Structure 1
Amino acid sequence: MLTAQVKKVINCCIPVTNVKESAEWYVKHLGCRYEGEIREGDTFLRLSSGPDLNLLKVDETVQWKLNGFVIPIIHIHTDDANALHQYLKLNGVSVEDVVDHSWIGYSFAMYDPDGNKILIWQANDLLDS
C-alpha cells in the first residue's frame, strides 16, 4: 500500500534546440525569471507561480499530434488572455486566435522558436475562486 502522498508538479521540461535563444525568448515573452544553467544544455527558468521550467537541449523537437491536432507541451494561466495575445502578436510571436469558451474562459495557442505549442488559458472568475 502506498503510504507517501504525491503533492504537485514542480518542474516541466521543454525540449529546445538552442537553449540560450530559447531562454531569452521565454524571459522576454512569458516573463520567466532566468535562474541559471544547471549543466550544459539544461537551463532553469521560473514563472511567478506554478512549476519551474527546464529548457533541455535536444537535436530536434517533435510535435505530438492526435487526429491532426498538435498537442500543447504545456498550459500556462494568465489573468488577461486578450492583452497577452495582443502583446505577443505585436512582438512577432506566432499565435493563433483567441477562443472564447463562454462561461469557462479564454484560450489561445502560441509557439516558441522550436515550434513547441503552448496553450495560454484565462479561466473565468467563477473557476478561479
Structure 2
Amino acid sequence: MDNPILNKIGTVFIPVSNIEKARDWYCDILGLKASGEVQFGHLYVITMDGTGIVLDSKIYSEDKVFKTPVFHFNTNNIEKAYHYMKNKDVNLITEIEYNHYFNFKDPDGNILMICEC
C-alpha cells in the first residue's frame, strides 16, 4: 500500500496572545513586511522558504507556550544573527552555544532557537 502521508512538514503553529503584535514582532525580526490579513480573527500566516509559520491567538494560553524550541530559524552567520537580535532588544536566554546556536523568547514567552546551518 502506498503511504499517502508526505515526508514534509507544512507549517508550525505558534501560540501568541495578541495576533497583531505577534505579527509585527515576527515580521520585524525576520525582515519581512507585515502584509496580508489576519484570518478568522486569530491566524496570521508567515510565508517562509520551506516550512511556514502560523501565528495563532486562539490556541494561546500561558501553559501552552513553547518551553523548549520545537524548531529553529536558520542562519549562515550565528555571530551576526546573535548581534542582530541583541540590537533589536530580543530577550536572549542563552549566549551562542558551541559556536552553533542560541535561544531566545518571543514577547509571549515561547522559547525559540536560531542555528547556523
Paired residues of 2:105 and 2:112 also in contact (CA < 8 A): yes
Q: Which has the larger radius of gyration?
A: 1
1:23 aligns with 2:23: yes
Counterpart in 2 of 1:111? 105
Counterpart in 2 of 1:127? none
Alpha-carbon distance change, 19 to 2 in structure 1, aligned in 2, over 3 angstroms: same
- Unaligned 5+ runs, structure 1: 65-69, 124-129
Question: 1:1-129 to 2 correspondence within 5 Å?
Answer: 1-32=1-32, 34=34, 35-47=36-48, 49-57=49-57, 58-62=59-63, 63=65, 70-95=67-92, 96-100=94-98, 106-123=100-117
Q: TM-score, normalised by structure 1?
A: 0.77
Task: Give the distance between the partners of 1:31 and 1:89, measured in 2 at CA.
Answer: 15
Between 12-21 and 87-96, report the one with greater CA deviation: 87-96
Q: Which has the higher contact order (CA 8 A, sep 6+)?
A: 2
Task: Give the distance between the partners of 1:77 and 1:52, measured in 2 at CA.
Answer: 13
Task: Give the distance between the partners of 1:75 and 1:51, measured in 2 at CA.
Answer: 11
Residues 51-104 of structure 1, C-alpha deviation per residue, up to 9 Å, x if partnerless?
A: 11111014523345xxxxx41132111111111110111111011200125xxx
Aligned length: 113
Task: Give the distance between the partners of 1:51 and 1:22, measured in 2 at CA.
Answer: 18
Structure 1 runs of 4+ aligned residues shifted over 3 Å read: 32-35
- Unaligned 5+ runs, structure 2: none
Q: TM-score, normalised by structure 2?
A: 0.84
Instruction: Give the partner amino acid of 2:51.
Output: P
